[in-house]
Structure 1
Amino acid sequence: MKIKEIIVVEGKDDTTAIKRAVDADTIETNGSAVNEATIDKVRRAQAIRGVIIFTDPDYPGEKIRKTIAASVSGCKHAFLAKEEAIAKTGKGLGVEHASPQAIREALKDAQLMHESISEEITQEDLLSAGLIGGEGAKDRRIMLGKLLKIGYTNGKQLHKRLMMFQISRQEFAEALSVVRQEEQK
């Protein structure tokens, strides 16, 4: 599988894992303190071939994602579920630990976050759906993030992520229906 866009990853182990899974070029941020030279590389890559930001499903990975997205518009975003990114030893979390299949799926599902946020789904919708606050909310958000392919979010991030990916009320309702069916099993 050949990827046209350049994939932004955190380090050389991530690049190795990406190259095991797909034919692609990468830019490595070398940590969460993304410098201006790296931002310039990403800007150039975005202008020429497009960019997919593919960081670890943890706080530093989210920080890198936000830093780059704030500086370079039009990037696509790929997400791995935490359980797909855990090292076989159980110690370590990141793209470098994911299977080639999980990496291919995440890249295939990469989405564009939109600058203009139109609020279709409200905070009240999230609260009444049991996605923020209360018992089981985190598990429901994890499942919802997988179904909508927007990655894991905490309660505060969920609304913004839904808006940025312009998830419609219908998409949200359908995914929520699946989440509720799974809960009843």
Structure 2
Amino acid sequence: MKIKEIIVVEGKKDTANLKRWLDVDTLETSGTGLTEATLDQVRQWAKTRGVIIFTDPDTPGDQIRQRINSAVPGCKNAFLPSGKAWEIVRGKRKVGVEHAGKQEILAALEHCLTYESAGENTLSWSEFVELGLTGLPDSAQRRKEVGNRWHVGEANAKTLWKRLNLLKVTKAMLEEGRDADE
């Protein structure tokens, strides 16, 4: 399968894993060492081929994603659920694109999202709280389910609330159990 867009990943092992399954060009950020020169490359590719940000489902990956989305509006975003992108390496649980299987990678790329620019919130913080997405013993599990249904990855309360607003999700949409594909 050929991917037209450039996929931004964190490192060489992510690139190697994607190339196992896809005909793809990547741009590596060298982890959180994202430089202005790399951002300039992303800007250039966004104009000519398009960009998909495909970082690890962890805090550094999220920081890289946020920085690129802020600097280069209009990028597509692919998310891996952390439960689908891990393996045990030397006795430790490792999470990332490099550890994901073919099905997880294809599913993440199939559900790419593009955030709209921040503006008026479609989901207020009080509505977010009313939905039980923060403040309850099971809120983390609820956020995980919503994040997976909307293909925005797992996140803490504030990050999920921001991502849902960037997608213009409303309380009614969440109550109806709709997802990003509807």
- When the two structures are superposed, what TM-score results if normalisation uses the length of structure 1? 0.90
Residue 26 of structure 1: aligned partner: 26
Shift of 1:170: 4.1
Aligned twin of 2:133: 131
**Match of residue 109 from structure 2:** 107
1:76 aligns with 2:72: no
Judging by fraction of residues, say which structure has more strand: 2
More helix by share: 1
Deviates more, 1:54-63 or 1:120-129: 120-129
The match for 1:142 among 132, 138, 144 is 144
Q: How far did residue 9 of structure 1 move?
A: 0.1
The aligned counterpart of 2:17 is 17
Instruction: Please tell me the residue identity of whatever aligns with 1:158.
Output: L
Alpha-carbon distance in structure 2 between the residues aligned to 1:104 and 1:92? 20
Does residue 108 of structure 2 align to residue 92 of structure 1? no
How far residue 168 of structure 1 moved from its aligned partner, in angstroms, is: 3.9
> Is the counterpart of residue 156 in structure 1 residue 152 in structure 2?
no
Segments of structure 1 that go 5 or more residues without pairing to the other structure are 178-185
| Cα distance in 2 between the residues matched to 1:53 and 1:171 | 26
Cα distance in 1 for residues equivalent to 2:177 and 2:125: 17
AA in 2 matched with 1:138: A
CA RMSD of aligned residues (A): 1.6
In the other structure, the counterpart of 1:37 is 37
Aligned equivalents of 1:50 and 1:85: distance in 2?
24
- Contact map agreement 1:7 1:26 (CA 8 A) in 2: yes
Q: Please give the TM-score of this superposition, normalised by the length of structure 2.
A: 0.91
Q: In the aligned structure 2, how far is the partner of 1:110 from the partner of 1:118?
A: 23
Provide the identity percentage. 42
Q: Which residue is equivalent to 1:182?
A: none
Q: Report if aligned partners of 2:55, 2:61 keep a CA contact under 8 Å in 1.
A: yes
Give the secondary-structure state (helix, strand or coil) at the position aligned to 2:132. coil
Query: Residues of 2 paired with 1:173 and 1:21: CA distance?
Result: 37
